[in-house]
């Protein structure tokens, strides 16, 4: 398993799926699909990357196609438009891409939660366990204030460690994480179950089976 979007799959899956060759790249096809299915059709599966047996779920085709990118962003904007969070927090690094655009559309601020050593001002940090070793994320101490209501966004939920760490940072500074959000869930890896069990509501658009 790769925490950046990989899931092991069968040998039958080990052909790279290229969304650019998909007939759903038309307005007519979009109208025939639900938004979630339309988005799923444009996620590229790259076999055996970054390691043999891993099926990497690549979201870059979602970003490259302006029609698909708009449909993707709209799913988050429409969900949170009436909720009116104080800010969107994004997890390093693909959470920055989605989160900052959603924050712009909602006319609210964006908070980057970065890997250790990347932020220049005073920070708080949280370390979490990986399959082999550990990792640390940080955020600026003035990024949120007590009482802020924050949506925490990443591209994908795998084991859930990064999102859990980001939530702890925000709560340590007095904010409330009203929901965690992601494009992709890999439910068999257990992260989404763990996050929900901790009391964090989740919103995801598509899920893929596999480890």
What are the pLDDT digits (tens) for 44-91? Answer: 999 998 889 888 999 999 999 999 999 999 999 999 999 999 999 999
Q: Mean pLDDT, to the nearest integer, of 114-138?
A: 94
* Residue 55: HSE in the Cβ half-sphere, 13 Å Cα cutoff: 19
> Is the confidence at residue 182, as pLDDT, over 60?
yes
Q: What pLDDT does residue 53 have?
A: 84
The domain 6-207 is placed in CATH, from the list 3.10.129.10, 3.40.50.300, 3.20.20.210, 3.40.50.2020, at 3.40.50.2020
* Torsion angle, alpha carbons of 34, 46, 7, 50, to 10: -150
**What value, to the nearest 5°, has the Cα angle with vertex 171 and ends 166 and 173?**
105
Q: What is the pLDDT of residue 19?
A: 54
Q: Where are the domains of the chain?
A: 6-207
pLDDT above 50 for 12: no
Query: pLDDT, tens digit, for every residue of 17-41?
Result: 455 555 556 666 666 899 999 999 9
- Could you read off the pLDDT of 82-102 as tens digits, one per residue? 999 999 999 999 999 999 999
CA distance 154 to 156: 6
Mean pLDDT (the chain) is: 89
152-175 pLDDT per residue, tens: 999 999 999 999 999 999 999 999
CB 201 within 8 A of CB 182: no
């Amino acid at each position: 398993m790769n925490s950046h979007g990989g899931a092991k799959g069968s040998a039958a899956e080990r052909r790279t799926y290229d969304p650019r060759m998909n007939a759903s790249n038309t307005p007519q096809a979009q109208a025939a699909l639900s938004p979630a299915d339309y988005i799923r059709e444009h996620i590229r599966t790259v076999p055996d990357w970054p390691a043999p047996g891993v099926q990497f779920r690549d979201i870059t085709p979602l970003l490259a196609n302006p029609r698909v990118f708009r449909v993707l962003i709209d799913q988050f904007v429409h969900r949170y438009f009436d909720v009116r969070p104080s800010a969107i927090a994004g997890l390093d690094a693909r959470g920055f891409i989605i989160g900052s655009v959603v924050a712009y559309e909602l006319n609210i601020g964006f908070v980057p939660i970065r890997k250790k050593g990347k932020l220049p001002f005073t920070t708080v940090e949280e370390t979490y366990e990986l399959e082999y070793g550990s990792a640390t994320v940080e955020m600026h101490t003035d990024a949120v204030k007590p009482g802020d209501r924050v949506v925490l966004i990443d591209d994908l939920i795998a084991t859930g460690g990064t999102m859990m760490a980001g939530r702890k940072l925000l709560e340590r500074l007095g904010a409330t994480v009203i929901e965690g959000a992601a494009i992709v869930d890999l439910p068999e890896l257990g992260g989404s179950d763990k996050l929900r069990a901790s009391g964090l509501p989740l919103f995801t658009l598509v899920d893929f089976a596999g480890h």
